[in-house]
Amino acid sequence: METVREMRHQPTAKSRPDDGARIQSGGYLLELSLDWIVLRASENIHHLLGESHVTLIDEPLGRFVQAQALHDLRNLFSRLSGTTGIARAYGVRLTDERDRDLHDIAFQIVAGRVLLEAVPSASDSFGQAFGTIGGLIEGLGDGRGEALLEGGTRRMRALTGYDRVTLFLGDRRAESSRGAYAAAAELLADLPILVADTEAEPIGMFPRRADDRSIDAALMKVGDLQGLRDAGVRSLMRVEFVGGEFRCDHRRPREPNLEVHAAAELFAQLFAMRLEIDRLRG
């Protein structure tokens, strides 16, 4: 069973010249000061918080988010301060309106700002991805050399449910694929971490600023997706680890799933340890 849901909406559009200041339509983004004043907001934020993106600017986030959610996120933020990692919270109800969906949250500190991203919760599969990691790593057994690379790639595909997973490890690579693609995957550092739909209309950030790169670290930035479209890739997830990267491609749009991405990161870290053991064995 696939662990990431299909996209419910599939608008189509090509990337625009100023996509560096845009995010993908599958999520929401707030750029906050370190004391959680809203500095910028994605122009679809009203669907998340019930307020216009214009209204939010220069206001405390606490004006628009219910007290318990804000308390929990601030506590998580306090543990993140001083690190370069990404914190995540799952199944969060941000407002008091009970008819609004639950959301998964990812935030990180970048250049003295807090980037907070939200996507609809994948509540029907919560916990499933993390529960499989132990067995997947154990299944690698005493694999060595190319067999270890191929085994890790197959297991990453089983974990994430994407059509193709390619492992890049220096000048070595391995691939596990469900059917053929128009072109081989390429290791491109400027691709987003998560791509929900390469054909979807991007969402602008407000206020707009020429040549603004402040959201480059966002998981769901836009970037240049034309190469993915040409290769028949509609959605993508990148999982980086020390010395390498797993790239997961899919032929259909996929809703971004922060839990699956976090589980894939954990698997990649454990896999990197197996790679180091293999290296030491010679």
Residue 252: which of 200, 193, 197 has the closest Cα? 197
Strands (E), the chain: 22-23, 28-32, 38-42, 87-92, 103-110, 113-120, 164-169, 172-177, 194-195, 203-206, 235-241, 244-250
- Any domain includes 175: yes
Which residue, of 93, 120, 147, is where some domain finishes? 120
- Two tokens, residue 121: 């919760």
What residues are paired with 250 via a beta bridge?
Answer: 235
Per-residue pLDDT in tens (0 to 9) along the chain, 282 residues: 333 334 444 444 443 434 447 899 989 999 999 999 999 999 999 999 999 999 999 999 999 999 999 999 998 888 876 556 889 999 999 998 776 789 999 999 888 899 999 999 986 666 778 888 999 999 898 789 999 999 999 999 999 999 999 999 999 999 999 988 888 899 887 899 999 999 999 999 999 876 667 788 999 999 889 999 999 999 999 999 999 999 999 999 999 999 999 999 999 999 999 999 988 987
If asked whether residues 138 and 228 sit together in one domain, one would say yes
Contact 106, 236 (CB under 8 A): no
Tally of domains within the chain: 2
**Could you give the count of Cα atoms lying within 13 Å of 117 in the half-sphere of its Cβ?**
27
- The predicted model scores a pTM of 0.87
If asked whether residues 202 and 254 sit together in one domain, one would say yes
Task: Please give the DSSP secondary-structure letter assigned to residue 273.
Answer: H
- Any domain includes 22: no
Which residue, of 88, 120, 152, is where some domain finishes? 120
Contact 111, 214 (CB under 8 A): yes
- Any domain includes 265: yes
If asked whether residues 143 and 180 sit together in one domain, one would say yes
